[in-house]
Amino acid sequence: MYRHILGTKYIIKRVNRPTPVKQCVQTERWTERYQAATERLPNQIRHTAARLYFQLARFNYEYHLLTRTNQTPAGQFRSYELLNRHGNDSMLAAMAEFCGPDATIYDIGANVGIYTLALASSAKGRRLIAFEPAPVTAEQLRANVGCNDLEKQVHIHQCALGGTDDERPFYVSTLPELSGFDRQSATRWGASVAEVVSVPVRRLDTIQETMPAPDVIKLDVEGAGPEVLRGGQATIAEERPVFFIEPHEEELSETQEMQSILLGHDYRIEQYDDYWRCLPV
């Protein structure tokens, strides 16, 4: 028997010699179990390491023990994060190059604020409107904004954006960056749902009535992109913001819907390795 390991797939090729049926069945069963185990292993390792990191970071945020410098392609800032997050982020680099020094930027799916902090710190005339629905994550975002004295530049909305103005159950993942309105997306990569909380949802069109119109919108909402766009039809049609979008092509079925909505509003979609840049034409 010849075995060959390719990635996480376990492939068996049998040579031409007689094999007892019982032994063959046992081998196939063992192989299936081995393959299932090896396919789960990378996700389990990633989840265990990430969960440990987020637990340590949450402790640091809660007690305000340590801030450190976070270096990104858009600039540096202080943060309670323990690692240098988004240090080589291609979409963040593209946004920093594209956005003017006095641009109004909506950060939809802000998380702890890496994009918001980097873009605000690197140009004091920019205004950042950050949206983060998860209560604990929103508090961490406020802590990061505070330790950089950016309260005058950054306005935080503790809500989600969607297609209606209401409240909905929000699935908080053990890997916080996977949290969202879809249980399946919150349990990717071996994660699980830590808790379910009710969060307010607002349409982009509703928010925009009382806030400055966006020049640029960054969108990273774990599968809810089409709903955000549907709730912002008037803003898209009237204000024509540029979108920087992180799609989730491999795991979530949002990409075709987003493309359809944006193309319907006469946008040109430039697809890069890790993100889209969507320009009004």
Is 51 part of any domain?
A: no
Q: Which of 245, 234, 166 is nearest to 204 (CA)?
A: 234
Strands ordered across the beta sheet of 166-173? 160-161, 193-202, 166-173
Q: What is the mean pLDDT of residues 109-138?
A: 96
Describe the crossing of helices 90-98 and 114-121 by its angle, rounded to 10 degrees: 30
Pair (266, 171) in one structural domain: yes
Pair (272, 198) in one structural domain: yes
Pair (33, 105) in one structural domain: no
**Does the pLDDT value for residue 55 go beyond 70?**
yes
pLDDT tens for each residue of 188-246: 777 778 888 899 999 999 999 999 999 999 999 878 899 999 999 999 999 999 999 99
User: Parallel, antiparallel, or unpaired for β 216-219 and 242-245?
Assistant: parallel
pLDDT of residue 184: 78
pLDDT of residue 272: 95
Is 72 part of any domain?
A: no
**Does the pLDDT value for residue 18 go beyond 70?**
no
Lowest mean pLDDT among 106-115, 143-152, 168-177, 270-279: 168-177
Q: How many CB atoms lie within 10 A of CB 277?
A: 19
The domain of 100 spans 89-280
Of the pLDDT bands very low, low, confident and very high (cuts 50, 70, 90), residue 110 is very high
Amino acid at 116: T
Q: Which of 84, 50, 55 is nearest to 67 (CA)?
A: 84
Pair (145, 255) in one structural domain: yes
**Does the pLDDT value for residue 117 go beyond 70?**
yes
Measured in whole angstroms, the distance separating CA 91 from the mean position of its chain's CA atoms is 12
Is 59 part of any domain?
A: no
Pairwise pLDDT comparison (200 vs 33), residue with the higher score: 200
Pair (129, 213) in one structural domain: yes
Pair (120, 217) in one structural domain: yes
pLDDT of residue 42: 67
Q: What is the mean pLDDT of residues 30-56?
A: 67
pLDDT of residue 30: 54
Total number of domains in the chain: 2
Helix (H, G, I), strand (E, B) or coil at 234: helix
pLDDT of residue 254: 79
Is 102 part of any domain?
A: yes
Q: What is the mean pLDDT of residues 143-164?
A: 97
Of the pLDDT bands very low, low, confident and very high (cuts 50, 70, 90), residue 179 is confident
CATH number of the structural domain spanning residue 121:
3.40.50.150
Q: What is the mean pLDDT of residues 130-143?
A: 94
pLDDT of residue 29: 62
Pair (16, 144) in one structural domain: no
> pTM of the prediction?
0.80
pLDDT of residue 271: 95
Is 49 part of any domain?
A: no
Is 52 part of any domain?
A: no
pLDDT of residue 7: 39
**Does the pLDDT value for residue 152 go beyond 80?**
yes
Angle 80-86-227 from CA coordinates, rounded to 5°:
100
Average pLDDT, the chain: 85
**Does the pLDDT value for residue 139 go beyond 80?**
yes
pLDDT of residue 85: 93
d(CA 251, CA 253): 7
Identify the residue whose tokens are 């409240």. 167
Pair (102, 38) in one structural domain: no
Is 158 part of any domain?
A: yes
